[in-house]
Amino acid sequence: MTELSFTDVRAAADRLAGVAHRTPVLTSRTLDERVGAQVFLKAENFQRIGAFKFRGAYNAISRLTPEQLAAGVAAYSSGNHAQAVALAARLAGTSVVILMPEDAPPTKLAATRGYGAEVVTYDRYTQDRTALAQELATERGRTLIPPYDHYDVMAGQGTVALELIEEVGHLGALLVPVGGGGLMAGCATAATMMSPGIRMIGVEPAAGDDHARSLAAGERVEIAIPRTIADGQAISTPGELTFAVNQRLVESFELVSDAEILDAMAFAFERLKIVLEPSGASALAALLAGRIHGLPERVGVVLSGGNVGLERFHELLGNS
């Protein structure tokens, strides 16, 4: 595959049928009244492993040859992709080794190991995870499944938007959390075909504005690894493949503060009765904080994940 197409997203949906959960779409009259629009929340916190990442990981691994599966796979991730690859590899009957930051949330480390993966840790602030992972995969003769810069991964993530629009119909805008950009690239590819004229809006933490800077510059910009509660979005530069798609299809990348993310997590818990991790709440945070100007009547929001442990959840929200 040399580019990403709507056909690829459709094919991914076929592979995921009966394996991935078709996650619910939530609505809230309180939310609609507060923002002045009809809002449809795609709840990927109810996906297998607790986040959208399972879609892309399974789609990519399901396309490997028998020889590649026999040799095993490798991956690198701050947490959710790690769990996704670990589970997808187990379902495919192959082994996996995953490079994770040493300060990854303990719940994500434990869950990844729980799915049977070997975990190798590194320092996210001083070491190049991509280079380390490629070296690890080469040394062990494994196929590397990156977290976002991979067309099969992107196509799998795009099934989030495909399912949402199939269920609720035309949307005027879709808000998507952005880390490496794979979820957005897949969703934008599907949504712009299914809902012509839709405004694709990415959301990233203010401390990690690499996509906003890159879109403004017209090329990928690299920043220091951001220090934010949204660990799943702590990326220094957009993916090469993902940015090529997003530069063409995304209207803007809006920024939210950690405090606004906490407000969104609290709203989700108190009003929607669901638990979101910080990254999973960032798109909702942008909506609640009034970041989207000229809000259309019908808006989709991706709630990308809910992998936060009880202790961390209490730590974040206990005094907010």
Active site residues: 53, 78, 204, 208, 210, 304
Nearest CA among 156, 175, 162, 157 for reference residue 40: 175
Which residues have C-beta within 8 Å of that of residue 235, sequence separation ≥ 6?
179, 180, 208, 210, 225, 226
Question: DSSP alpha helices (H): ranges in 199-306?
Answer: 210-217, 240-249, 258-267, 278-288
Q: Which two tokens stand for residue 268?
A: 């989700």
Nearest CA among 318, 316, 248, 251 for reference residue 280: 316
Nearest CA among 222, 272, 279 for reference residue 256: 279
Q: What share of the chain is helix, strand, coil (3-state, %, to 5)?
A: 50, 15, 35
Q: Which two tokens stand for residue 210?
A: 């690499």
**Whole-angstrom Cα distance, residue 218 to residue 221?**
9
Cα 281 to chain centroid distance, Å, stands at 11
Q: Where are the beta strands (DSSP E) in 57-210?
A: 73-76, 96-101, 118-122, 143-144, 173-177, 199-205
Using DSSP's 3-state secondary structure scheme, residue 299 falls into strand
Going by the DSSP 8-state scheme, the letter that residue 224 receives in this structure is: P
Q: Which two tokens stand for residue 29?
A: 């009259």
Q: Which two tokens stand for residue 253?
A: 């990348």
Q: Phi and psi dihedrals of 221, rounded to 5?
A: -115, 140
Other CB atoms within a 10 A radius of the CB of residue 319 amount to: 7
